[in-house]
Amino acid sequence: MAERHIPYYSLKKLFSFFNGVTVLSGMILIGLSIYVNFRGAVLTKVLGRSSAYLFHVGYLCLVMGSVTVLLGFARWHGAAKESRGTLLFCFLVMVIILIVQITAATVVLAFFPVVQEVALEHNFMTLRKNYRGYKEPDDYSMQWNLVMEKLKCCGVKNYTDFSGSSFERVTGHTYPRCCCKSPGTMDCDGHNVSADVIHQEGCFPKLLKITKTQSANLSGGSLGTAVMQLPGILATLLLFIKLG
């Protein structure tokens, strides 16, 4: 009888360890989603639909991470109570989560080239049409003001994006105040385009770099946590079979 139970108790210890790793992977997904949605992706909002996948996949990671953590505790409970039904349910849900994570990583990697190819011209035209100016209350202008101030850049391609734009027609200025290195100075008059006065480079390359980094974080995080979860999924199946 003792010999028959040794493999079972060894399996339970192995299961407990890998289940802990799985719970850790869920916490990593939660942290990753918070980082992506409330850090770099806040700036890339100005790219519109071109970067919306970052938010969608980020929130998906938040949901999957939360479910993974809850399932981890459920599996510990199922193992302690030797409940095959609980273990089977957790196994099936974790397989679904694993598939979704791999799919999410693939989608993120597939969408980044679309951002690179499509977003530049679209955002250039949208900026020239919709941007109103510094400290304007509309969401679009506020988002671009934040981007230009934080990233120290001007326009999509460069500071000349505002020439002939609706912003210039309304204000008579060739660039907004947030393009200036020191917005409160006299030189920041909307006409002096000296490199000593304004940031002449455009924001798109910097936004693209952030998007690339966030895409790599999401895809790498999703695939990495999927690898972490696989042994726990297999251990759950083995324990389910052993209890049969």
The residue behind tokens 């949605």 is: 37
pLDDT, one tens digit per residue, over 32-83 is: 888 887 776 667 777 776 677 778 888 888 999 999 999 999 999 998 888 9
DSSP state of 174: S
* Cα–Cα distance, 2 to 4 (Å, whole number): 5
Helix (DSSP H) and strand (DSSP E) numbers for the chain: 7, 0
pLDDT, one tens digit per residue, over 185-230 is: 888 999 999 999 999 999 999 988 888 888 888 889 999 999 999 9
pLDDT for res 4: 43
Q: Which positions ≥6 away from 80 have C-beta within 8 Å?
A: none
